[in-house]
Amino acid sequence: MKREQPTKPDEPASRLRERVKELGCLYDVSQIMVDAGLTRDERLRRIVAVLPRAWRFPDTAVARITLDGERFESPSYEQVGAAQQADLVVEGVRRGSVEVGYLSTPPADPSAPFLPEEDQLLANVARQVSLFLTREEGAARRAMLEEQLRHADRLATIGQLAAGVAHEMNEPLSSVLGLAQLALKAPELPQTVIDDLRGIVAASLRAREIVKKLLLFARQTPPRKSRVTLNEIVEDALFLLEAGCEKQGIRLLRELAAGLPTVEADPLQIRQVIVNLTVNAMQAIDAEGTVSVETRSDGRHVVLSVADTGHGMSPETLSRIFNPFFTTKDVGVGTGLGLAVVHGIVTAHGGTIEVESVQGKGSRFIVRLPVETAAATT
């Protein structure tokens, strides 16, 4: 008796069905990419859900997308057996991969569980995702650059205004201060008049200090640079602040690296940077806490770090802290110029300033001053 051979499936029809599934998958992926209502993570999760349906054995197929170490995957993907992958490459840099595999051995040739067309499909999906990431990140960078340009334009305009106001205020302020101090020398003044005159002197001195900050912010007072050692300036600045820290119950810690290279800088302006950052750190602490001041060198820069264990800043506050006249302090406590002045001084010295902050845990300001300028003058 002759044994009957199993009937082979209709090969052209089977391949046609596979092609239809692949085209449907590419269509679904493209629709996911153009859906403006989805976040990046939502897009990647939906693509992971769509991919298995396009493979020959969708019941056991699973998918995973890895991007910058973050994974978006089908349930039980860790149990996958055979798998294939295609790289996600954004602007020439490999950022992750798209993978499809089977949880059990597929009912096909174990040595070749995937069709060549499936390799091509996975490569096309990876290419679509890579192009989307390139466009999305490019748009984000353009938006950031545009905001930086607008911010720089606003700062330039405010700087010009501040310089004009400061110059106009200097003369009348000097007259008010001089006349008040002269009047105090008059004999037999009533105590109430003396108190009023002293109030005028104190207010004039505060106004004059604000004018100085305005001129610094507007860079109308160029730095008088010389070769200086950052640690010496730090010690001088902190000497003035130790008593205030002790009174508030704040620990002031120093960690100053030995053998720092000298930098070309204005010692008075750098001291003002240290004082402003340290005072800000002290004011960020409501009760007991710690202010840490550190120095180090990274080879190209001398680095100053001022950290506190205070209340930290929200992302909104963090984005505005260097804006002139922006302050979270009570009226009469701050002018909103301290950090703007710090930013102006650091920039005028060819340096950079960065901020790290976590609400409820504190903030850290990192100033980098270049040492190349000093080396170039030797």
Give the model confidence (pLDDT) of 86-129 as tens digits.
999 988 889 999 999 888 776 666 666 787 888 888 898 999 89
Bridging pattern class, strands 70-73 and 83-90: unpaired
Task: Give the per-residue pLDDT at 314.
Answer: 81
Phi, psi angle pair for 4, to nearest 5°: -80, 135
Helix or strand (DSSP H, E) at 98: strand 93-102
pLDDT in tens, 233-266: 998 888 878 878 888 888 999 999 998 999 998 8
Q: What do you get for the CA distance between the two ends of the chain, in Å?
A: 103
The answer to whether 293 touches 252, Cβ cutoff 8 Å, is yes
Task: Give the per-residue pLDDT at 255.
Answer: 92
In Å, how far are 1, 7, 10, 107, 108 from 4, measured between CA atoms? Answer: 9, 9, 18, 21, 21
- Residues with Cβ within 8 Å of residue 57, at least 6 apart in sequence: 102, 106, 107, 108
Q: Top-level CATH class of 11-142?
A: alpha beta
If one looks up domain 226-376 in CATH, what number appears? 3.30.565.10
Task: Give the per-residue pLDDT at 88.
Answer: 92
Beta bridge partners of 93: 90
Task: Give the per-residue pLDDT at 216.
Answer: 58
Residue ranges in the chain whose pLDDT is less than 70: 1-16, 18, 106-112, 145, 148-167, 212-223, 323-338, 372-378
Beta bridge partners of 378: none
Bridging pattern class, strands 263-265 and 226-228: antiparallel
| Residue whose tokens read 């001195």 | 205
Task: Give the per-residue pLDDT at 11.
Answer: 58
Alpha helices in the chain (DSSP H): 11-34, 40-50, 116-184, 191-217, 230-248, 267-283, 315-318, 338-348, 372-376
pLDDT in tens, 31-65: 888 888 888 889 899 999 988 888 888 888 899 99
Model pTM score: 0.45
Task: Give the per-residue pLDDT at 330.
Answer: 47
Task: Give the per-residue pLDDT at 149.
Answer: 62
| Residue whose tokens read 């993570």 | 41
Task: Give the per-residue pLDDT at 279.
Answer: 86
Phi, psi angle pair for 146, to nearest 5°: -65, -40
Coil, strand, or helix at residue 123? Answer: helix
Task: Give the per-residue pLDDT at 4.
Answer: 47
Coil, strand, or helix at residue 269? Answer: helix
Query: Tokens for 197?
Result: 């005159």
Indicate the CATH number of 145-217 among 1.20.120.430, 1.10.287.130, 1.10.10.10, 3.40.430.10: 1.10.287.130
The arrangement of strands across the sheet holding 70-73 comes to 70-73, 61-67, 93-102, 83-90
Q: Where are the domains of the chain?
A: 11-142, 145-217, 226-376
Taken in order 107, 113, 117, 119, the sign of the CA dihedral is: positive
Query: Tokens for 89?
Result: 């490459």
Task: Give the per-residue pLDDT at 303.
Answer: 94
Cα angle: 110, vertex 116, 117; to 5 degrees: 125
Distance CA 54, CA 107 (A): 16
Secondary structure (DSSP) of 168-217? HHHHHHHHHHHHHHHHHTSTT--HHHHHHHHHHHHHHHHHHHHHHHHHHH
Task: Give the per-residue pLDDT at 13.
Answer: 65
Side chain identity at residue 284, one-letter code: A
